[in-house]
Amino acid sequence: MDIIIYHNQSCGTSRNVLGLIRNAGIEPHVVEYLKTPPSRALLQLLISRMNSSVRAILREKGTPFAELGLDNPELTDGELLDAMMAHPILINRPIVVSPLGVKLCRPSEAVLDILADTQRGEFRKEDGELVIDQAGRRVA
């Protein structure tokens, strides 16, 4: 299965999602989007495929969101995209692309909805929370 993850190694959620993908026996294409941001057209396509709004994928925490006044509801999608192109850290992560769909995987377990392959064993998040049991089943 061909999987792409728009990843930030500094983000625990992103690392957990990458771990869940690998726990399914898949080695994804990892795009470190802060080093290699998606083009404006690609970002628009990803947002469209997620059936999301541009505003819904804006990241506030640890970004220049407030300084740029991006909470202004009058800003257009184009203006928000301009900000994300100028400051890729504003793109929330991780975004995962699979044959089953495109998803902003927050919380990290959301990636399981777009992975066709089953988990191959136990998986715990970095904080120790059990997500997948030893039999490869999702823990509620």
| Dist. CA 10–CA 54, nearest whole Å | 23
Q: Which residue has the tokens 């505003």?
A: 55
- Which residues, 6 or more positions from 33, have their beta carbon under 8 angstroms from its beta carbon? 6, 7, 8, 88, 91, 93, 95
Among 5, 11, 17, 57, the active-site one is 11
**Is 11 a catalytic site residue?**
yes
Just list the catalytic residues.
11
